[in-house]
Structure formats: structure tokens, C-alpha cells
Amino acid sequence: MPSAPATILSFEQARHVVEEHAAALRPSGKELLELLDSAGRILAEPVLADRNFPPFPRATRDGYAVRAADLATLPATLEVIGEVKAGVSVDAAFKIESGKAAAIMTGAPAPPGSDAVVMIEYTSRDGDRVTITKAIAVGDNIVPIAAEAKRGDRLLSPGVRLDHAAIGVAASVGRSRLLVYLKPRVAVLATGDELVDIDVPLAPNQIRNSNTYSLAAQIQAAGGEPVLLPIAPDEPERLRELIAEGFEADLLLLSGGVSMGKYDLVEQALAEFQAEFFFTGAQIQPGRPVVFGRAPGALASKDHKYFFGLPGNPVSTMVTFELFARPMVEALAGATPRKLVFLHAKLKSEIKTKPGLKRFLPAILSGEFEQAEVELVRWQGSGDIAATAAANCYLVIPPNREQIAAGEWMPVLIRQL
């Protein structure tokens, strides 16, 4: 029987291997959606400015439109010749000559002749006269025409995730529909004789299959469409059948059966599909036995199907998805690849650990404003799904550390929705 040669990589090496393969992936197609339905999806077309932004010199304050040179000596008293509010069109007849001013509101067009807006706080009004007590420079409190974008400029590029700011941009250029990439189909195959579905009565020796659901939620958050396969027993024939079904999707995620036990059959079953293995373990905890590879597609083409064998311990499954599977789902979804970035927070209490593995331990990020603090949750190891649910991040412990004092700044991986 074929089996995979063991390739255990450091965390960073394993992550780079995944990123390299992800970079070559493309989504399978596009669809046109109503603007709000496209929120959270990946844009598949450039979005251009349909006009100049702003389309007129825009006042950014309530106050008076003036000629800055008129305020050379202070206080200066000017004649108020009118009022400009947001939404009005100012014609050339309404011109600010020297010695004149116009009351103006935020968002209104600065009238011809004016070159600055004085904030109302520095003025006092008496009938058609205004007295100004503060000097101003040409251009102050006015955004010039096209300063934000010129008509035809690209404001959004294919590959961006349409967050609320991007939706705002699309709305501002009048796009009521957007072309987005189709979601990739990601098959989830949980393995294990002890597993039962979540909606059937179970015996004391049985375990509910939670990984299929946590993975499905992670797939959705990463922009994929989960395809839930039935539970595979620790039995080669049925496992092979279900793996073959999984390869019909764009990506296959297996959970469980990748450790060294007698009934850990996943690698061997995959090897029988002529799979190539890029790694069969990473020096991390939780998640050490994680497997990444690909199998030739059913058609004799370059059409490979990638897979991950994720360890079955529920926390290992979640962590290895975030660290390794997420970039593949995002790439298949058409998203521009992004690097994994760890933020830093101050350690609340001392940690003692064993060196050798890079650890991603469930932790709670707290504090207020600039005071980010982090603390490990107490847990019973990588099967402890309840402790992990109470956490909101993973504290990253480098492999060379044994003792870390309270007060040290530590890298943290934020847990995504």
C-alpha cells in the first residue's frame, strides 16, 4: 500500500508552502449581485470613479467662504452677500469679490472667487457684516475638485473583499450591482468511528461531530460554500468513497485520522488517489499532525484537487484551518492573498511552557483603549472546545521560550468571525 513519506515543517515553512500554492489558484467564475448582496464577497471587476471626487470645491466646515488675502489684517470685517448650503448650485454671478464673504455650510460648493472657508467659531455676525478674528491660508477648509479621485480613476480593484467601506465607495459611484466571484465549494469530511451526527441520540461512548460544523462556519467566514459530507468511519473502503466525493468540490478538508494510531487511515487513503503531500506535520501545538497535499483531478489535465488532513481534536481543527486552510479558501474565492499578521498585547500573567513547538493557545484579549492585555484561558488541551469558545484569540508562543514573564509583549492571532 502506498503511504506518504513524513515531511514535518516549521510553522513558517508550512505557511509559506500553502501561500505559494494559494497564489496559483483562481476562482471558478463570476456573478452579478445587487449591491448589498455583494457585501462580504470578493469583487471581480474594477470599480471606477464616474465623476471627479469631489465634483466641486467642497467646504468641510460651517463658516464663511472668503478670499484669504482679505484677512491679512485682523480683525477683518467683510460684507456677507449670501448663503450657500449643501445641494445648491452656485452660478458664476454669485462671485466673492475682495471685501465680500458668503455664509457656507459643510458639504456646500465654495462659490467662485472664494479660496478658503473660515470656521464659524472665529467669526461674529452683525446683519450683513461678518467680523473675522483669525487668519487663514488659501485652500483651508476646502477640498479642491478631484482631490480625492479623478473621473476614471480605479477606486476598487478585483480581489478586494467588499467590506462596508468598499460598499460605500461602490454606492458613491452609482453602482447598484457588482460583479463578484463565485464562492468555491469546500467539502468537509469528518472521520472517526466514535462520531455521530448532531441530531441523533448517542451512546456514552460516542462523540458528536462538531468539527464539520465549526469548519463549515470557518469556510463561510473565509468566503467559501461548505459542502457537508456524511461521517466517514475508520474503515478504508467507505473512507475512499467519501474522499472521492470530496474531490468533486474545489477543496477537500478532512478532520481526524491523521495521527499515528492504528486507525488513522486518512493519509493512506489519500495516497491511494496518487496524492502528493507537501507536508504531513508542522511544528505547532495544537495541530501538529496537519497534512496538506493535492491529488490529480479526474480529468487528465493539470486540474489538481487540494486537500487538508486536519487533526481531529476540535481546537486543533479550528487552529489549523485558520493557519493553513483559510488562505486556500480565500484564494479560490478570488481574494488577493494577504499575509498572516500577529498583533501584540501585554501578557497579564507569567507562562511556563515546553520549548520545541510554536504554540497557538486559546487566550482572552482584554484591556481598554491602548492597553491591550492577553491571558491564556485554562484548558484541558486541544479537545477543550468549551474553553476555546470562551477565548477570543490565540496567544502565539515562539518555540524557543520556556518562561515568559508577565508584562512582556506577546504576539496574538485575532480569532476571526
356 Cβ neighbours under 8 A, 6+ residues apart: 283, 399
Residue 27 contact among ligand AMP, Mg ion, none, beta carbon within 5 to 8 Å by kind: none
Residue 280 contact among ligand AMP, Mg ion, none, beta carbon within 5 to 8 Å by kind: none
Beta partners for residue 43, in sequence order: 180
Interface with ligand AMP (CB under 6 A), residue from 27, 192, 223, 226: 192
Minimum CB–partner distance for residue 389 and ligand AMP (Å):
13
DSSP strand pairing (63-66 vs 251-255): unpaired
Cβ–Cβ < 8 Å for 297, 271: no
Buried b (16+ CB within 10 A) or exposed e, 221-249: ebbbbbbbbebbbbeeeebbebbebbbeb
Which CB, 312 or 334, lies closer to Mg ion? 312
C-alpha span between 400 and 198 (Å, rounded): 40
Q: Among 69-77, 102-110, 192-200, 405-413, which window interacts with ligand AMP (CB under 6 A)?
A: 192-200
* Size of the residue set binding ligand AMP (CB under 6 A): 18
Smallest CA-to-CA distance from 333 within 56, 29, 37 is with 29
HEC-encoded secondary structure of 18-51? HHHHHHCCCCCCEEEEECHHHCCCEECCCEECCC
* Binding pattern for the stretch 189-208 against Mg ion, x by CB under 5 A and - elsewhere: ---x----------------
Tally the residues of the chain.
417
Which CB, 6 or 86, lies closer to ligand AMP? 6
Grid coordinates of 174: 452609482
Residue 209 contact among ligand AMP, Mg ion, none, beta carbon within 5 to 8 Å by kind: ligand AMP
280 lines the binding site for ligand AMP (CB under 6 A): no
Minimum CB–partner distance for residue 194 and Mg ion (Å):
7
Considering only the C-alpha atoms of the chain, give the largest distance between any 2 of them, rounded to a whole number of Å: 96
Smallest CA-to-CA distance from 63 within 128, 112, 98, 108 is with 108
256 lines the binding site for Mg ion (CB under 5 A): yes
Minimum CB–partner distance for residue 309 and ligand AMP (Å):
9
327 Cβ neighbours under 8 A, 6+ residues apart: 18, 19, 22, 337
Cβ–Cβ < 8 Å for 407, 371: no
Half-sphere exposure in the Cβ direction for 32 (13 Å, CA): 3
The radius of gyration computed from the CA coordinates of the chain, to the nearest angstrom, equals: 30
230 lines the binding site for ligand AMP (CB under 6 A): no
Minimum CB–partner distance for residue 217 and ligand AMP (Å):
13
152 Cβ neighbours under 8 A, 6+ residues apart: 48, 49
Minimum CB–partner distance for residue 197 and ligand AMP (Å):
10
Interface with ligand AMP (CB under 6 A), residue from 158, 224, 257, 293: 257
C-alpha span between 258 and 235 (Å, rounded): 14
286 lines the binding site for ligand AMP (CB under 6 A): no
259 lines the binding site for ligand AMP (CB under 6 A): yes
CA angle 106, 110, 111 (to 5 degrees): 140
Interface with ligand AMP (CB under 6 A), residue from 256, 309, 334, 362: 256
Which CB, 184 or 311, lies closer to ligand AMP? 311
Which CB, 109 or 192, lies closer to Mg ion? 192
Residue 383 contact among Mg ion, ligand AMP, none, beta carbon within 5 to 8 Å by kind: ligand AMP
Cβ–Cβ < 8 Å for 259, 249: no
Interface with ligand AMP (CB under 6 A), residue from 40, 159, 383, 398: 383
Give phi and psi for 237, each to the nearest 5.
-70, -50
Q: Among 68-76, 191-199, 217-225, 328-336, which window interacts with ligand AMP (CB under 6 A)?
A: 191-199
Minimum CB–partner distance for residue 16 and Mg ion (Å):
29
* Binding pattern for the stretch 301-320 against ligand AMP, x by CB under 6 A and - elsewhere: ----------xxxx------
C-alpha span between 150 and 162 (Å, rounded): 22
Minimum CB–partner distance for residue 182 and ligand AMP (Å):
28
Minimum CB–partner distance for residue 344 and ligand AMP (Å):
31
Footprint on residues 287-326 left by Mg ion (CB under 5 A):
312
Residues found near ligand AMP in the complex (CB under 6 A):
190, 192, 194-195, 207, 209-212, 255-257, 259, 311-314, 383
Footprint on this chain of Mg ion (rule: CB under 5 A)? 192, 256-257, 312
